[in-house]
């Protein structure tokens, strides 16, 4: 996985690894099941596979602009946003800060209901983000 993360980071300057990858970088999970990124544009990502795009009404996406690259190793879930989340840089790779992730999860909880809201509340508890 780290090889793919490095390649994505080298391909684009405007990429921040978020979600479970930022948790992985902070040693809070051992192996993310996908790679979540925030970018300003899709330029440069086509080298990693076919890019599927769609509009989303999910509170997980601020702009509603989403994309995905389905791969055999790791799917790359893409959030296309005007502004990148707060990040730290480690070995040239931008990772969402845990504080920013906590704030984002709070926003998702405040703007969602039902199953999604409960899932995010449980995630916050699991990672001691309360």
Q: pLDDT tens-digit profile of 74-120? A: 999 999 999 999 999 999 999 999 999 999 999 999 999 999 999 99
Report the pLDDT value the prediction gives residue 88, as an integer from 0 to 100: 97
Structural domain includes residue 7: yes
In a domain, 128, yes or no: no
Can you give the residue range of the structural domain that contains 39?
2-96
pLDDT of residue 98: 94
Contact 106, 127 (CB under 8 A): no
Q: Is residue 33 part of a domain?
A: yes
Residue 40 lies in a domain: yes
* pLDDT band of 130, cuts 50, 70, 90: confident
In a domain, 126, yes or no: no
| Structural contact between residues 42 and 66, judged by C-beta atoms closer than 8 angstroms | no
Domain count for the chain: 1
Q: Which of 17-26, 65-74, 119-128 has the lowest mean pLDDT?
A: 119-128
15 belongs to a structural domain = yes
Question: For residue 6, which phi and psi values (nearest 5 degrees)?
Answer: -60, -45
């Amino acid at each position: 996985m780290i090889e793919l993360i490095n390649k994505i980071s080298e391909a684009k300057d405007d990429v921040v690894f978020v979600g479970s990858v930022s948790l992985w970088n902070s040693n809070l999970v051992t192996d993310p099941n996908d790679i979540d990124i925030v970018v300003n544009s899709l330029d440069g990502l086509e080298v990693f596979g076919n890019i599927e795009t769609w509009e989303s009404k999910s509170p997980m996406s601020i702009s509603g602009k989403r994309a995905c690259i389905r791969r055999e190793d790791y799917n790359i879930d893409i959030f296309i946003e005007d502004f990148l989340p707060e990040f730290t840089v480690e070995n040239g790779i931008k990772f969402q800060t845990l504080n920013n992730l906590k704030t984002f999860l709070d926003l998702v909880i405040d703007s969602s209901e039902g199953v999604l809201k409960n899932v995010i509340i449980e995630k916050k508890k699991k990672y001691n983000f309360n």
